[in-house]
Amino acid sequence: MSTTMRTSARLLRPALVAAVCALLAGCVQMPTEGPVVEPQGSPDVVDVPGISFDPRPPRPGEPAGDIVGGFLEAMKATPISLTVARQFLSREAEDAWVPERQIITYGELGTPSGRTSTTISMKDVNVYDARGAWQRTVATRDLDLGLVEEDGEWRIDEVPDALIVPESWFEDWYQRVSLYFFDPTSEVLVPEPVFVPRGEQAAPSLVRGLLTQPSVESQDVYRTYFPAGTRGLSVPIIDGIAEVALSGDPDVIDEETARRMLAQLAWTLRQEPRISAVQLSVGDRAIAWPGGSTQVPLGVGSEYDPDGGRSTSQMYALDQGRVVTGPIGAFEPTLGPLGADARGIRSVAVSISGSQVAAVSTSGTDLLMAPTEALDGEVVPLVVGAVDLAVPNWDRWDRAWVLDRNAGRARVVLVEGGGARVEEVPGLSGRAVTKLLVSRDGSRMVAVVRGRKTDRVVAARIRHDAAGGILGFTPFVRLPLPAEGSLRVRDIAWRSPTSISVLDITDDLSQVRTISVDGAPGEITTTTRLRGRFRTLVSAPVDDSEAFALAGRRVISLISLDRSVPVLAEGITSLTYAG
């Protein structure tokens, strides 16, 4: 059925505009601010709100305007159901409508216009794909609906293949989570942010998302081990066990495929608090963890941890130019050569494995590499003659990424295999870039680009081949920040594998906002506001790590604002976690 609107022989009744306006009044915008609160990491899937809404079906003789309004109202059924919404469609449209293909949310609806072809303007529109992954935001978009008379009743005959709901409703009934895929090397799990329904529909939605094959554009970023054509049959949760039944050919699943399928499932479904283990079957075959049971605990697959599997309690810093480690207030020199002697260093970054340290010279022109634990280890200069090197980043492949701000003509330097080279990064290279982050799994890059009047936070994906070689970068996406914040971003830091915190200053307040790196709208937690002019964020992308904001030697915990944190000792600088 074409999406072009068909025209019935009869005109819509004059009540159409008034009826739809009345039924759709009261749409609200997404909240963008709040009080000082304790920030949290990405939340798990939680129970649905304790309010249900059972929309009315169409009534005999109902005017066309009420049919349009009733259809849009019916899509807000809670718990989520489209059974009533389908009753507002013609028989042909009902058979053809596939709302699972995408989700369209709106902040505000305009006045409907038209007769049998009705156009309604939507403002502040967000589009999500079949998995619930955010695709784009547009300021306005028209919703076109066509109506016909069928058996003497008005019915909607032309409708987009989408769930179309207010943004406020979507926020209440959908939850941010991640689907876990593998990187192109098949050695690292890569989390992909999505939104799924809360409650009973969460687990089936997560499984359906995993079964969706990556697009051609995404194949250099992540891959799935679920064979193409596999379909989800059911995902009941019985005594904490998610029994995932799939259709497909079990004979194509070898031991390596089975292991990675189960790792993807376990890491994805561990976000559902009712699940403690998974049990997977494909066709008539139960899939077992290699050498183990078919009832697989959620802790499997730790070797594929996107964060590298290292504890984040260990912190590092500089003390009068020497590399030290330990908790705040109790630092001890590291055993390597940069811990034994001061070398004229202004910032450091320690590899995720904890074995190497990358150090930027006081001048910002040189990068030094050295072991952290071998006293007789060699200090190797890798970048000489840069202009202004920022703090390095490490990924789990023991690669160090370093931004050379280069007087407003940025260069991205990659250190691997004992050498350094400049990577051409379209959208960053040659621009005024002030901050750079690379995710531990090596799949994401986030940066702050300075403009004349305002800074932009942008994110892109790093493309790899099957051997881990870098193929390039996807186009950068601008991450949304509320308009009421400062025009200048002071710092950014990872808070989870898929979210960052952004620090800006307005008047005498410092503001920390945590946002998703996929560009989806809204903050993951309410803005944390701190008295004073804080300049630095220190955090790691795992749940059990502390997060801090620094103003000189003053340290504030962003996890528990009331917790007393010792001030940094005189001479302590460049506080950081591994990575």
pLDDT tens string 182-208: 999 999 999 999 999 998 999 999 999
Total tally of structural domains belonging to the chain: 3
- Token couple for 475: 């186009």
pLDDT of residue 115: 67
CB atoms under 10 Å from CB of 250, counted, come to 15
Q: How confident is the model at residue 48 (pLDDT cuts 50, 70, 90)?
A: low
Q: How confident is the model at residue 226 (pLDDT cuts 50, 70, 90)?
A: very high
Total residues belonging to the chain: 579
Q: Does residue 413 sit in the same domain as residue 337?
A: yes
CA dist., res. 492 & res. 192, Å (int): 20
Q: Does residue 544 sit in the same domain as residue 442?
A: yes
Q: What is the pLDDT of residues 438-456, one digit of tens each?
A: 999 999 999 999 998 899 9
- Token couple for 508: 């005498």
pLDDT higher than 80, residue 30: no
**Chain centre distance of CA 559:** 20
Q: How confident is the model at residue 137 (pLDDT cuts 50, 70, 90)?
A: very high
Q: How confident is the model at residue 376 (pLDDT cuts 50, 70, 90)?
A: confident
Domain that includes residue 199, residue range:
183-304
CA dist., res. 191 & res. 202, Å (int): 17
Answer whether residue 7 is part of any domain.
no
| pLDDT > 90: percent of the chain | 73
Q: Does residue 347 sit in the same domain as residue 461?
A: yes
Q: How confident is the model at residue 84 (pLDDT cuts 50, 70, 90)?
A: very high
Q: Does residue 430 sit in the same domain as residue 397?
A: yes
Answer whether residue 2 is part of any domain.
no
More confident residue, 286 or 34: 286
Q: Does residue 143 sit in the same domain as residue 193?
A: no
Answer whether residue 8 is part of any domain.
no
CA dist., res. 209 & res. 181, Å (int): 10
Q: How confident is the model at residue 47 (pLDDT cuts 50, 70, 90)?
A: low
3-class state of residue 222 by DSSP: coil
Answer whether residue 333 is part of any domain.
yes
Q: What is the pLDDT of residues 445-494, one digit of tens each?
A: 999 999 988 999 999 999 999 999 999 999 999 999 876 656 889 999 99
Domain C-terminal end among 253, 284, 304: 304
Answer whether residue 9 is part of any domain.
no
CA dist., res. 454 & res. 202, Å (int): 39
pLDDT higher than 80, residue 507: no
Answer whether residue 178 is part of any domain.
no
Q: Does residue 67 sit in the same domain as residue 23?
A: yes
Q: Does residue 298 sit in the same domain as residue 321?
A: no
Domain C-terminal end among 122, 140, 172: 172
Q: Tell me, what CATH number does 112's domain have?
A: 3.10.450
Q: Considering just the CA atoms, what is the radius of gyration of the chain in Å?
A: 27
pLDDT of residue 309: 64
CA dist., res. 119 & res. 110, Å (int): 9
pLDDT of residue 494: 96
Q: Does residue 484 sit in the same domain as residue 436?
A: yes
Answer whether residue 10 is part of any domain.
no
Q: Does residue 264 sit in the same domain as residue 350?
A: no
Least confident range from 35-49, 231-245, 309-323, 328-342: namely 35-49
Domain C-terminal end among 145, 172, 199: 172
Contacting residues for 418 by C-beta, under 8 A, at least 6 apart:
380
CA dist., res. 573 & res. 248, Å (int): 56
Q: Does residue 445 sit in the same domain as residue 519?
A: yes
Q: Does residue 321 sit in the same domain as residue 296?
A: no
pLDDT of residue 579: 80
pLDDT higher than 50, residue 24: no
pLDDT higher than 50, residue 19: no
Q: Does residue 386 sit in the same domain as residue 432?
A: yes
Q: Tell me, what CATH number does 477's domain have?
A: 2.130.10.10
- From 480, 456, 482, select the one nearest 32 (Cα to Cα): 482
> Would the pTM count as exceeding 0.75?
yes
Answer whether residue 177 is part of any domain.
no
